[in-house]
Structure formats: C-alpha cells, structure tokens
C-alpha cells in the first residue's frame, strides 16, 4: 500500500530477564515497540517476576531454569490467560537461544550457568548481545570460533567492551591499535588498604558507588575480579595479547574505556553510567536509538581522575592476568573458584579477604591443561568447583 512501510521487527530472546541487565534491556525494548518484540524470557526461579514480565511483554515462550518451578509457571500463565508456552530446565534455555523464533539473544544469565545457552545462540548465527562475561572467560576461544563459523555477530554489552567495540575500526582490523585501556571504578573500597578490608560485609561489598547491579558482579567489582574477568573477556572479543590490555582506575565511571592507537590518538566512549546505553547500542546496531539515558552534562562533572590499580589490596586482578597468560584451562579454574568464593562470601561463610585466598589456593591445587574443546572446559569447571568447595571447607574449619 502506498505510504506504508513494513519494518521487520527484531525478535528478542532474553536469557536472565529478571536480572539487572534483563530489566534494563526490557526498559529499552519497551521504548521501541515498533522495532522490537520479545520472543522469549527466562528466569532462574523467580516465577512471580517472570509471570509479570510475560503479562507485560507477551513472549511466545517463557523458561524457568529451575525445573521444580515448571508447574507454577504453566499454571500462572494459564491463570492470566496468556498464550505463552511454558518450558523448564537448562535444555530449554538452549532451545530459546537457538530456535528460529528469535533473531537476537541477550545473554544476561550470571555465571558459567550461561555458557551453554550463549553457545547455542552463537551456533544458531544469532545477533548475540553478550553480557554473560563468565561464559567468555570459561570458553572464549570456543565461543569466538563458533560465532565466526555460524555468522553470529557478537555485540558486547559489558560497558567497557561496548565502549571498545565502538572505538575500534569497524572493519575488524587491529593493525594500528597499540593498547586497550579498560577503565575501572575501583569499586566501593578504592583507596583502602588490604588490612582494612578484613571485616567487610556482603551488603557493604554490594553497595557500588556508580552502578546498581546483581550481587555477584557487585562483589566482583569490590574485589576487582570483575576487571580481571573483563581483561580476559577483552582478549577473546578483540584478539589482543594480555600485554596490550591495561586497566586504569577512573572513579567517575564516565569514560567507559579507551583505545590507544600507534599514531598517538586515543579514542574513548563516554556516557552516564547506565547499562541501557550499551543495550540500546546492541539492540539497534548499526543504528542509534533513544535508550532513556540522560545526556551527559560535562560541565556538571567536576573532574575526571585516573590512577593505577592497587594490586596489593586487590590481588584478584593479578590472579586473572596470570590465568590469562597461563591459558588453557587456567581461566576456567579462576572463574569457577571465584563463583564458589563469592557465593560463600554472600552466604556469610567466607570473609572478604578469603575470596582471593580461595581462588589462589584452587589455582595452586590444580594443573592447568591445554583446552580447545568445550567438553574439557566444562569438566574442568566442575572439577575446579569441587576443589574450591573442599578447600573452602578446610578454610572454614580452621
């Protein structure tokens, strides 16, 4: 019909829809109903929240990862008169990441629990909005290879990697790049000595100065392991050697990261600290759309500060660099031990300083092996969790 234009909507599967990233993504999606529709939503176990999202966004499929919650999801959908199909379990996550009902997948599950669905999206050649950094740390080489083989486009959502993606040449060339500079806020304990961190509580660790995030990544930010995971993530996403990836502390979290070129140019991406910018970029790429984020007011920002990270107070960052240099299964061991340690800290079983100690002792107790195969990496992840749990038991009994 003259004058009418039909634009194909992007159909999005959101894995981890009830989380911090998931809800920021849904906020952006809701601003653009003419562009986006929600094909699938998943949650770990919070069925009531998932049902509310289903009522609002009307996905074709909803998945609860915890199989025991299947009945509650199915009955809740029926009670609301929704046509959404209910599925449960880890395989169902792979199904919604890989099936043809969506063309875009947001990988926003926390932890290595997201690796299988992230890879399923890559295998299906989807546009992959990648927030789940642990899956890159665990299986970065496999993920990048799979995405290349199947034509999946990975759009990094982690704010630093999103910034770098925006500042690198669009043709994929790296010839003129000297260094990547990842900015770090320094977390809530920036400037403090190691000794002063002995009695930190989970709520103190989760009170991030600039970002509101899930509890696991908040603790990672407080230990600087988040930046360590991000160094490994950057290595895989952008193909640069560890010595070309540096971390600079920038407490204001306005410069999200920088690329240093051989001619002396340094390109940076700036913005208010709000994940909706990266999510809008990934959702609409290569176009730009409104994200709901307020414009940056440079004159209201008094100053930008920069400092080198304190590796004495925050040894997790050094452990991550070491694991990246060792390669093979070392990053998988680092990630698994960190997940065990952070869960124990959040449960009140392990002191804050015990997090890096447990990771270090798990790495020391296991011999990293070469690994180019997902099965080997997943087996190593399981073994490292058992080793860390055993060492945790000994630390707690002492």
Residue matched to tokens 């452990």: 319
Residue 89 within binding range of ligand NAD, rule CB under 6 A: no
Q: Which is nearer to Mg ion, 160 or 339 (CB)?
A: 160
**Scanning residues 92 to 151, which ones bind ligand NAD (CB under 6 A)?**
108-110, 113, 131-134
User: Please, what is the minimum distance in Å from the beta carbon of residue 246 to Mg ion?
Assistant: 15
> Contact between 65 and ligand NAD (CB under 6 A)?
yes
- Considering the complex, state which of residue 158 and residue 360 has its C-beta at the smaller distance from ligand NAD: 158
Alpha carbons 362 and 391: distance in angstroms, whole number: 7
**Phi, then psi, of 256 in degrees rounded to 5:** -85, -20
Minimum Å distance from CB 218 to ligand NAD?
8
- Of 148, 257, 45, the C-alpha closest to 62 is 45
Q: How far apart are CA 204 and CA 368, in angstroms?
A: 34
Our finding on whether 211 is near ligand NAD (CB under 6 A) is: yes
217 contact, one of Mg ion, ligand NAD, none, CB 5-8 Å limit per kind:
ligand NAD
CA triplet 34, 40, 43: central angle to 5 degrees? 130
CA distance readout (Å), 374 to 138, 235, 371: 9, 18, 8
Residue with smallest beta-carbon separation from ligand NAD:
19
Q: Is 69 in the site for ligand NAD (CB under 6 A)?
A: no
Contact (Cβ atoms closer than 8 angstroms) between residue 101 and residue 38: no
3-state DSSP of 226-282: HHHHHHHHHHHHHCCCHHHEEEEECCCCCEEEEEEECCCCEEEEECCCCCHHHHHHH
Measured from the CB atom, is 53 or 361 closer to ligand NAD? 53
Tell me which DSSP letter residue 347 carries: T
Binding-residue total with ligand NAD (CB under 6 A): 25
Binding site for Mg ion (CB under 5 A): 158-160
Lookup result for tokens 């486009």? 153
Using CB under 6 A as the binding rule, whether residue 356 contacts ligand NAD is answered as no
72 near ligand NAD (CB under 6 A) = no
Task: Return the number of the residue (24 or 361) whose C-beta is nearest ligand NAD.
Answer: 24
What track of x and - describes contact with ligand NAD for positions 31 through 50 (by CB under 6 A)? ------------xx------
Angle at 255 between CA 254 and CA 257, to 5 degrees: 140
| Number of alpha helices (DSSP H) and beta strands (DSSP E) in the chain | 15, 11
- Is 18 a binder of ligand NAD (CB under 6 A)? yes
Does position 202 interact with ligand NAD (CB under 6 A)? The reply is no
Residues 246-265: x/- map of binding to ligand NAD (CB under 6 A)?
--------------------
Residues contributing to the site for ligand NAD (CB under 6 A): 16-22, 43-44, 65, 108-110, 113, 131-134, 158, 211, 213-214, 216-217, 275
């Amino acid at each position: 019909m003259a004058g009418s234009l039909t634009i194909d909507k992007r159909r999005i599967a959101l894995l981890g829809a009830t989380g911090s990233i998931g809800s920021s993504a849904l906020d952006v999606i809701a601003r653009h109903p003419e562009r986006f529709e929600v094909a699938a939503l998943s949650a770990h176990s919070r069925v009531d929240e998932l049902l509310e999202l289903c009522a609002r966004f009307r996905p074709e499929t909803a998945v609860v990862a915890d199989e025991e919650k299947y009945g509650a999801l199915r009955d809740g959908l029926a009670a609301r008169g929704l046509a959404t199909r209910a599925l449960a379990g880890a395989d169902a996550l792979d199904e919604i990441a890989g099936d043809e009902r969506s063309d875009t997948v947001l990988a926003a599950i926390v932890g290595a629990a997201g690796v299988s669905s992230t890879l399923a999206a890559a295998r299906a050649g989807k546009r992959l909005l990648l927030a789940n950094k642990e899956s890159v740390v665990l299986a970065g080489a496999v993920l990048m290879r799979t995405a290349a083989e199947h034509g999946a486009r990975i759009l990094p959502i982690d704010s630093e990697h999103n910034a770098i993606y925006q500042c690198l040449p669009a043709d994929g060339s790296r010839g003129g790049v000297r260094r990547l500079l990842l900015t770090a806020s320094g977390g809530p304990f920036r400037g403090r000595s190691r000794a002063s961190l002995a009695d930190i509580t989970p709520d103190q660790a989760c009170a991030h100065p600039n970002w509101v995030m899930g509890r696991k990544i908040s603790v990672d930010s407080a230990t600087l392991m988040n930046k360590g995971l991000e160094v490994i993530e950057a290595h895989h996403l952008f193909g640069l050697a560890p010595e070309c990836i540096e971390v600079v502390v920038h407490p204001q979290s306005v410069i999200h990261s920088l690329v240093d070129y051989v001619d002396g140019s340094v390109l940076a991406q700036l913005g208010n600290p709000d994940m909706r910018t990266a999510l809008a970029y990934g959702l609409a790429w290569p176009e730009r759309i409104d994200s709901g984020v307020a414009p940056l007011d440079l004159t209201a920002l008094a100053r930008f500060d920069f400092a080198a990270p304190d590796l004495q107070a925050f040894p997790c960052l050094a452990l991550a660099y070491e694991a990246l240099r060792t390669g093979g299964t070392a990053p998988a061991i680092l990630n698994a031990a960190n997940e065990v340690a952070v869960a124990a800290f959040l449960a009140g079983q392990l002191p804050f300083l015990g997090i890096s100690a447990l990771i270090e002792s798990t790495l020391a107790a296991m011999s990293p092996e070469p690994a180019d195969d997902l099965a080997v990496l997943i087996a190593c992840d399981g073994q490292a969790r058992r080793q860390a749990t055993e060492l945790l038991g000994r630390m707690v009994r002492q």
